[in-house]
Amino acid sequence: METKLRTATGEFQIDIATMSDLPAILECTSFDNRAPYNEASFWKWRYFENPVADVKVYVARTVDRKIAAMQSVSAYTIHVDGQKHIAHCLTGAVTAPHFRRRGLFRLLVQTIVQDLSGQGASILFTFPNKLSVQAFRRFPGWEKHELLSLYMRPLMSLHRGGPRSYDREVTVLPRNELSDLEIVRQQNVRIGGDELLENSNPHLSFIDRSKKYLTWRYYGGTANEYEMFYAVCGSLNEGYVVLTPRQFKGFTVGLVVDLVARSNVVANELLRAAVTHSQRKGYRMLAFLVGRTNPYRRALNMSRFMKWPNALLPRRFHVYTYAFDQNGRKAELIVRNINWYLTWGDTDVA
């Protein structure tokens, strides 16, 4: 990727980083001790050697070429009403502590918007944290699309006899024609989720879940541990669920990173498998981050998931969008009428 000067303000200039800038990027992120964001392998996997998305890392440099701040933007395929569009996602915003409050984050976002506007882009979206959400509320053209919700299912309850399994509380839906359904644990990706999602709900909008994307996302070299279970009926793949362990308020929970199923019957069976696996691992809860148009709410209810109060979350999961003008009108179809199916897997590295 060729580096090209974009704009400048004071002692800073904005351009696009290349792989040769990786040492300077790691220096900029050195204040953050959280893995994997301070590891070179993560930046290569996520940004510079990404096989499924066109990624650009915009950086603000000082006069001596040090990186003071950065903001990446990735171009992904999204499915809207059965049609494919290119959407751009902002992730990976970093400003070194001693360069904050100089307007660098605002300048980076404005530069990205200007560049994409000249390239015929349709929509830009992001999942701001509790700090950056204040900025997006002020940025012109940005709108809050929704607030994602976290659903939790207790796996153990402390009482006089010690931890108690909640297995018997899971309601089993009648399988009917899926009497031969099996849940299979996989070490690789059997099939993508695009076709399953489109067939189950033709009006659902979602980020690319092709086999290539899933292989990169969950088996491409991330530092997190993922477990993938498929629902198989004969020779047909009916859905999958992806889990990962996370720390939450001092104990380990199982996190449903992604769930795709042909029906709520299949989704319920996958969630039951996730409950059993999480209990065997000793997780205290199973959690699932979902948007308002999640197609598997019936399965969540049957599997005893409960909506977690936002006040008890370490952060809130906002979705903000920016619609570009296209031939005199904004991309209303994508922004106004979109039925996002978003999960943690989308917000984590999308």
Q: Where are the domains of the chain?
A: 7-121, 149-312
Q: Under CATH, which number does the domain 149-312 receive?
A: 3.40.630.30
Distance CA 325, CA 323 (A): 7
Please indicate whether the domains covering 7-121 and 149-312 agree at the CATH topology level. Answer: yes
Q: For the domain 7-121, what is the CATH code?
A: 3.40.630.30
Q: What is this structure's pTM?
A: 0.85
Strands 83-95 and 227-233: unpaired
Q: What is the 3-state secondary structure (H, E, C) of 262-322?
A: CCHHHHHHHHHHHHHHHHHHCCCEEEEEECCCCCCHHHHHHCCCEECCHHHCCCCEEEEEE
157-197 pLDDT, tens digit each? 534 444 333 333 333 444 454 567 888 887 778 888 888 88
3-42 pLDDT, tens digit each: 344 445 568 889 999 999 999 999 998 887 666 777 888 8
The pLDDT confidence band at residue 259, using thresholds 50, 70 and 90, is very high
Beta-bridged to residue 252, according to DSSP, are 247
35-44, 124-133, 227-236, 295-304: range with lowest mean pLDDT: 35-44
Cα 236 to Cα 133, 190, 214, 273, 276: the distances in Å are 43, 11, 18, 18, 23
What are the φ/ψ torsions at residue 45 (nearest 5 degrees)? Answer: -65, -45
Among 50, 77, 74, 69, residue whose Cα is nearest residue 205: 77
Alpha helices (H) along 44-181 = 104-117, 132-138
